[in-house]
A and B are shown apart, each in its own frame.
Chain A
Amino acid sequence: MHPTDFSLRGALDALAEGAISSEELTRAHLDAIERLNPRINAYITVTAEQALARARESDARRARGEAGPLEGLPLAIKDLFCTEGVRTTAGSRILGNFVPPYESTVTANLLRDGAVFLGKANLDEFAMGSSNTTSAFGPVENPWSRRNDPDARLVPGGSSGGSAAAVAARLALGATATDTGGSIRQPAAFCGIAGIKPTYGRCSRFGIVAFASSLDQAGPVARTVEDCALLLRSMAGFDPKDATSAEVPVPDFAAACARGVRGLRIGVPQEYRLDGMPTEIEALWQRGLEWLRAEGAETVEISLPHTRYALPTYYIVAPAEASSNLARYDGVRYGLRVAEADGDLRDLYERTRAAGFGAEVKRRIMIGTYVLSAGYYDAYYLKAQKVRALIRQDFERAWERVDAIVTPATPSAAFGMDEKQDDPVTMYLNDVFTVTANLAGLPGLAVPAGLDAQGLPLGLQVIGRAFDEETVFAVGAAIERAADFRALPGLRAGA
């Protein structure tokens, strides 16, 4: 077995038995990155020397009997998490060579538990995108390809495209990611791996470059549901530095993976059946529900009547918050500065932001500025907040009848890098199944469940009650066991 093929759980066992050291495990990943990253572009920054030094420290801790819960595991960190002393770009030119003088709470938690960071993973600029093609550091290539068109380069999804591609291609055992409208679940589904966006407030947002603060949540991507559970337990927890961080205990998520689904009521929302959705996605969904029934769950047809308004609501709320959050990039305190010799301060702001932001980010700042501007606030922003309340209410009513909801993760498999680039709204429709969980603040997990006719992975999504990730993990793990998904991408270490 190649060391990059371990699950996180498998690697922990191998490390505990002394079958491998963290240094060997880390070196194997660094070698794989050196070989494959020039093509996949999953990493913006590789911190090889630091990773090896930390791996050696980890091996020493383990030898002293001081192993943490993630001791010695090499991970990729989405380049939206501030890492002390390591350049953090958010996939944008405007951050220049920004080197954070502090560590995000989520990454600090992972370091506390013994993880080793291989480097910073590529992403859509400021996490705005569903294809990882808006990164200022170039697109990421999906390690999977179509059977009948193997030369077509496919997107890994976004915005956490680098994290998902790195994990799928075995360039990391797991990765951190963030999800504002689907940015964990959609790339996980496109790359044939698992990923969970936990309940809003479960992971601290401190030190994560902000996009839309009422929607942003950090979560893990990994190759198994249990691996996601192991990572989330370390990432989560109350943090006084984030006013929206929830003061709730962090349960043993991995234990919940073995619970089974007997007696659970699984909701099947009729509004998630879209016109024009590929029949194989509908078939996969039905197969997933059959698997759960076979394990003793009951499936229940439910209605989430405001589902069709979720994306337009999102494209008011998210740009509004983004336009406010991204006002801080002004060329004064950090990052890029573009100034004319005789220009004034306003000219400095405008030139810096014009040169520093990419096209998608500018569009969203413009939309957000407009919907918040005098005379338009009530018609757009306030209206969207009200519809958002109705979307949350739809779920509250559903929880009276069901314990979890199962839907497709995405309306299609991974698409080509040159597709869906002409019309922003076409790209936005990728998140049609995932965005509702962000608006309602609920946990959502994507789990690989099958392949389409082209041999590309398709995922199912499990949505749960607020702070009930345990049921989500139980259902996701049951789907994973039944699906027995063993297909592998063509581009991967050890292949």
Chain B
Amino acid sequence: MSLDTAMVRRIASLARIRLEEEEVGRMQAELNGILGWIEQLQAVPTEGVEPMAGGSPLPAAGGMRMRADEVTEGGIAEKVLANAPDRIGDYFAVPKVVE
């Protein structure tokens, strides 16, 4: 599967990365190089193989631990906002979204 320039633009849009027109060709070549190399996986027979989700080395211990659904911390608005590029009061500020 080789990506055309329209697909490269679409992926960039999905990834929310602005791609300048002059960057598209190079990105296309690099992505196709990587995808072409990955393609060899299609040769591995995997019928009936349970996909491995998560990183646990022990198949039986694959399930993640649940915790009680209760508040453990909070009331730290100043800490949460301390690194905000822009804020208004206790809110993160962004360009107007709704007209």
Residues of A within 8 A of B (CB): 96-99, 101-102, 199-201, 213-215, 240, 243-244, 246-247, 306, 309, 312-313, 315-316, 323, 327, 330-337, 339, 343-351, 353-354, 357, 362-363, 365-367, 369-370, 373, 376, 379-380, 382-390, 392, 396, 423-425, 438, 440-442, 466-467
Contact = CB atoms under 8 A, between A and B. Distances in A.
Nearest to A217: B55
Given A201-B55, A332-B92, A345-B94, A387 B18 contact: no
Per DSSP, chain B at the interface is: loop
Given A330-B16, A337-B86, A424-B30, 6 more contacts: A101-B83, A201-B56, A309-B41, A312-B40, A365-B15, A389-B49
B71 interface: no
B84 A333 contact: yes
Interface bracket on B: 35 or more
Contacts of B84: 332-334
A343 to B, nearest CB: 6
B41 A366 contact: no
Contacts of B40: 309, 312
Contacts of A369: 11, 14-15
Closest 7 CB pairs of A and B: A441-B57, A385-B51, A334-B83, A214-B55, A466-B57, A337-B85, A350-B18
Interface in B1-30: 1, 3, 7-8, 11-12, 14-20, 27, 30
Contacts of B51: 382, 385-386, 388-389
Interface string B43-85: 0101001111111111101001101000000001001101111
A323 B16 CA distance: 11
B56 A240 contact: no
Contacts of A390: 44, 46, 49
Interface centre among B12, B31, B79, B85 (most CB of A within 10 A): B85
A349 B16 contact: yes
A351 B34 contact: no
Given A200-B57, A387-B46, A441-B56, A367 B34 contact: yes
Contact of B34 (A200, A244, A315, A387): A315
Given A213-B55, A214-B54, A387 B41 contact: yes
A331 B50 CA distance: 38
Contacts of B20: 354
A330 B40 CA distance: 34
A199 B57 contact: yes
Contact of B11 (A102, A348, A373, A441): A373
Contacts of A306: 44
